[in-house]
Chain A
Amino acid sequence: GNSVTQMEGPVTLSEEAFLTINCTYTATGYPSLFWYVQYPGEGLQLLLKATKADDKGSNKGFEATYRKETTSFHLEKGSVQVSDSAVYFCALTLMTGNQFYFGTGTSLTVIP
């Protein structure tokens, strides 16, 4: 089947620390991969995406590279800020117009 596995949280980091949130996937075809972020009391917002192997998605200092050989899409940021505190979801979809499969989310808290 299709599924996404994320590292469990919560994750607490000091400001300016390096962030990695691991994400691996299982898919019956060739998925597109996404990271969504959910701030308290809000819906999910697209953070970045990659649609084929070796693509790197990036936005707001966050990066993730689509690794087909390891079926992974790990999220990284070199220097986190307090404003990055949120829940991060890894997701995949198999084709245009199809459903998304989400991981369970990883809660990040950044302390000053």
Chain B
Amino acid sequence: ETGVTQSPTHLIKTRGQQVTLRCSSQSGHNTVSWYQQALGQGPQFIFQYYREEENGRGNFPPRFSGLQFPNYSSELNVNALELDDSALYLCASFLQSVSGANVLTFGAGSRLTVL
């Protein structure tokens, strides 16, 4: 089975620009979460998508938005980029179930630098 793949792996933007990051979830998984990992920090939850709808959101402003497609792949969009948006953006997928704790499968991330 294929794991979680993210693209692009690295990108550089300037303040005020917009960016789109993409994620293909692991085969068999129906839920995608996005996390922001600043340098030297742990991942911070941005939001989560299940059945093409956002079903959880962390403490991030509305300029962070996303989509999930019928094939369970996902996009993260960030508008009006700020310097503090520079981070590693991690996508994680899992099969949502009613029993047991879900285990996140992470991609390698997209490294965004905002100048």
Contact partners of B45 in chain A: CB under 8 A:
99-101
Are A105 and B42 touching (Cβ within 8 A)? yes
Cβ of B14 within 8 Å of any chain A Cβ, yes or no, is no
Contact partners of A45 in chain B: CB under 8 A:
106
Query: With contacts defined as CB atoms under 8 Å apart, how many contacts are there between chain A and chain B in the complex?
Result: 70
For the complex, give the distance between the alpha carbons of A75 and B4 in Å: 26
CB within 8 A of A99: which of B33, B90, B108? B33
B interface: dominant SS:
loop
Give 1 or 0 for each of B52-65: 1 = CB within 8 Å of chain A CB: 00011010000000
Known contacts A49-B101, A97-B102; A44 and B90 CB within 8 A of each other: yes
**Interface pairs (18), CB distance under 8 Å:** A36-B104, A43-B4, A43-B90, A43-B106, A43-B109, A44-B92, A49-B101, A51-B100, A97-B48, A99-B33, A99-B48, A100-B35, A100-B43, A100-B45, A100-B104, A101-B45, A102-B43, A102-B44
